[in-house]
Chain A
Amino acid sequence: MADHPHGEKPGWADTKTFRTALLGVLVIAALAVAGAGFLPQFQKEHPHFKVEGLGAFFAVYGFVAFSFIVLAGQHLRKLVARKEDYYEERE
């Protein structure tokens, strides 16, 4: 959560109302498109791959891919992260 220097009021994007509303809209929209995937009029007539006809394949794949990138990717730091002035000391 944001802190508020200078004793000012929280900005519109930092209010709980905005965050809840944004999350609500996101969840409803996501569920709506996931549901739409099961309706024949929103499906490809001649899918290239079988998985495209599974209704919510893209939803599941998007969620899993994003989570994997963030949860697995952060461990790359252990391998490659160095001090900020790493190169300054060496050049």
Chain B
Amino acid sequence: MGADSLISALAMNPAVILSVGAILGALIPNGYAAIRRPLMLVFIAISAFQLDRLGLGAYGALSFFGEPVTMLRIDRLARLFAVVFHIAAALNIVYAWRSRDRLQDFAALAYPAAAIGGVLAGDLITLFVWWETTAVASVFLVFGPGTRATYVAGMRYLAIQVLSGVVLLAGIALVYRETGSFAFGEIGLRDDAGALKASGLVMLLAFGIKAAFPLLHNWVQDAYPKASFAGTIVLSVFTTKLAVASLARGFPGTPELIWIGAVMTIFPIFFALIENDLKKVLCYSINNQVGFMIVGIGFGTAASINGAVGYAFANIIFESLLFMAIGAAVYRTGTSKATELGGLYKTMPLTMIFCLIGAMSISAFPGFAGFVTKGLILDAAGEANAFWIWLVLLFASAGVLEHAGIKIPYFTFFAHDSGKRPKEAPPEMLLAMGVSAFLCIAIGVRPEPLYALMPYPEALADYHPYAAYHIVEQLQLLLFAVLAFAALILVKWYPAEVASTNLDTDWFYRVPGRALLGWATDAVRAIWSLLWRIFSTRVADAMTRVYAVHGPEGALARSWPTGFMALATAIVLGLALLIAFAA
């Protein structure tokens, strides 16, 4: 590839513009750290402008070892994610405006940059590069607080993320063998005859690790809550949604995803119910929410893909808002544990209101962002006549209301008074939360701009979220669920929060896996020392024998008598005579 074409392809890429911003920000001397975040915002504005200026199309076509690659493909699917990633990155930068941590600030822009590069990748090689960059850039956020616990959690996180990248690379090789191209389009799990494809399986696994499929999910709860109050918010947005975008592109209409997604919507509900750390509750909520999106991708109709990615857009806004509200509580009180919080509404009323708006959005109350997007996924289940999936999604919706709609605001701002009287969140946090809350309501009240941004706007022509039946159905579900909550509180059947660590799939590699590794290390060490002992004993024995023969007292060191020499010569001559005779 020519150097000029490479440079121009890089310079036009919004992800590269943001990466340059992240690097320039990191180079600013500590004495001028206050200008870092404004500079980062400027770069986000330039990148957003560039995204808008380019418009839909494929750019940056290059040749990689003779194969065409497209570093930048802005289609409707990619654009929707790129837009919401820009919004989220900007809000997160405003939220932690006072941060003066060079590495955290770098990651807060380099990581969204990589995720944007990933969703805009037109080929699998470019996707792989950005895929791995998200892993490396984001781990600095996990390392943020700088304790041993965050270090080991960060290493576990990095191992899993890099594993996803390695699996992706294997998948890319298999796709290339099959199609002879690096183009990133629909991959599919089965071939035309209906048999499972190795390439599809491996790619699905790579995407599934990052999307936190069931049993592959626990890196989210392990790593995200250990980051700083602001780092967790940044982390919550990008990795899983990059995977959702990749699944929507590579595996639309894959029926297996319907069941995987359905399981994802259900099991986190129960873990979230018993979890005491509210940041972890929200991490389980990420799993649950991504489950809805994956179900939508699995149905694979134009309307359901709209629902999946539209819900991803809305979710990024309201899930971030919930993380921001809990982050503000952590910033002011130093804890995110339900047992240590409560009663904060008295002194943090604005944060409480923003949190309630996020809670109502994620619960999909009419008038908020969740309602106008989630309905598309439930409708897709209806259209497909998938009764049990439809029931599961409704059940999961009641679960969302329980852990994200009620538990988060209730245990932070109401419930048992913790006696803590912190100050209201600082202005920059209120601003970020206020804008997020505004977007939640704006999308809810006027969803048309979001609908216009969706991949298949024509499929939305007959969709009316505010149809009377839809409002009544949804309000019945939600209000009676809230009524159940009120009843359980009144009869004191709602379980009290308990300070505990709840085991999940990370237990397998943190306890028995670790023990197995320790045992394997000890075994290797023991075998090595045994082999070394055997080897060194044999060598020592051999040396003793050599010394015995060749040493000063050895047989070969003696002076030989003349008679022995004459005898030896006679034997050699005799042998020579016999050989000559025989020959």
Contacts and interface: CB of A to CB of B under 8 A. Distances in A.
B128 interface: no
B484 A67 contact: yes
Given A42-B468, A66-B398, A90-B511, A73 B274 contact: yes
B476 A70 contact: no
A23 B504 CA distance: 36
B481 A65 contact: yes
Given A30-B479, A30-B480, A80 B343 contact: no
A26 to B, nearest CB: 6
A77 B498 contact: yes
Contact of A74 (B274, B472, B482, B486): B274
Contacts of A36: 472
Contact of A37 (B401, B476, B510): B476
B152 interface: yes
B458 interface: no
Contacts of A48: 382-383, 385, 390
Interface in B490-515: 493-495, 498-504, 510-511, 514
B345 A11 contact: yes
Interface string A4-45: 111000010110000000010011011001101100011110
B296 to A, nearest CB: 16
B24 interface: no
A71 B479 CA distance: 18
Interface in A45-89: 48-49, 52, 56-67, 69-74, 76-77, 80-88
Contacts of A34: 476, 480
Range of interface residues on A (Cβ < 8 Å): 35 or more
A48 B484 CA distance: 27
A69 B500 contact: no
Contacts of A37: 472-473, 476
Contacts of B346: 11
B560 interface: no
Contacts of A57: 476
Nearest to B390: A49
B493 A70 contact: yes
B476 A76 contact: no
A48 B416 CA distance: 44
Contacts of B482: 26, 30
A43 B504 CA distance: 42
Nearest to A45: B469
B402 A70 contact: yes
A2 B416 contact: yes
Given A5-B417, A33-B475, A76-B271, A66 B469 contact: no
A87 B501 contact: yes
B417 A76 contact: no
Residue of A27, A66, A90 ringed by the most chain B CB atoms within 10 A: A66
Contact of A70 (B273, B390, B480): B273
A29 B274 contact: no
Given A30-B479, A65-B395, A69-B269, A90 B510 contact: yes
Q: Is the interface of A mostly helix, strand, loop or mixed?
A: helix
Interface in B417-456: 417, 419, 421
A12 B503 CA distance: 38
A81 B476 contact: no
Given A5-B417, A33-B476, A82-B503, A66 B401 contact: yes
A47 to B, nearest CB: 8
B273 A49 contact: no
A66 B402 contact: yes
A18 B469 CA distance: 31
Contact of A33 (B383, B394, B472, B484): B472
Contact of B417 (A2, A77, A81): A2
Interface in B144-177: 149, 152
A65 B401 CA distance: 11
B528 interface: no
B494 A70 contact: yes
Contacts of B414: 13
A4 to B, nearest CB: 7
B210 to A, nearest CB: 24
A37 B495 CA distance: 32
B488 interface: yes
Nearest to B339: A84
A23 B394 CA distance: 24
B382 A60 contact: no
A60 B480 contact: yes
Given A65-B398, A70-B494, A73-B273, A59 B477 contact: yes
Contacts of B485: 66, 70
B483 interface: yes
B382 A49 contact: yes
B387 interface: yes
24 contacts: A4-B417, A11-B346, A48-B382, A48-B383, A48-B385, A58-B474, A59-B477, A62-B476, A62-B479, A62-B481, A62-B484, A63-B481, A65-B394, A65-B398, A66-B401, A66-B402, A66-B484, A69-B399, A74-B495, A77-B274, A77-B500, A82-B502, A83-B501, A84-B500
Given A66-B401, A70-B494, A76-B502, 13 more contacts: A26-B479, A26-B482, A49-B387, A57-B476, A59-B480, A60-B480, A62-B480, A69-B402, A71-B488, A73-B270, A76-B271, A80-B502, A91-B514
The 5 closest A-B pairs by CB, nearest first: A48-B382, A58-B476, A65-B398, A62-B477, A66-B481
Interface of B: 149, 152, 269-271, 273-274, 342-343, 345-346, 382-383, 385, 387, 390-391, 394-395, 398-399, 401-402, 414-417, 419, 421, 467-469, 472-488, 493-495, 498-504, 510-511, 514
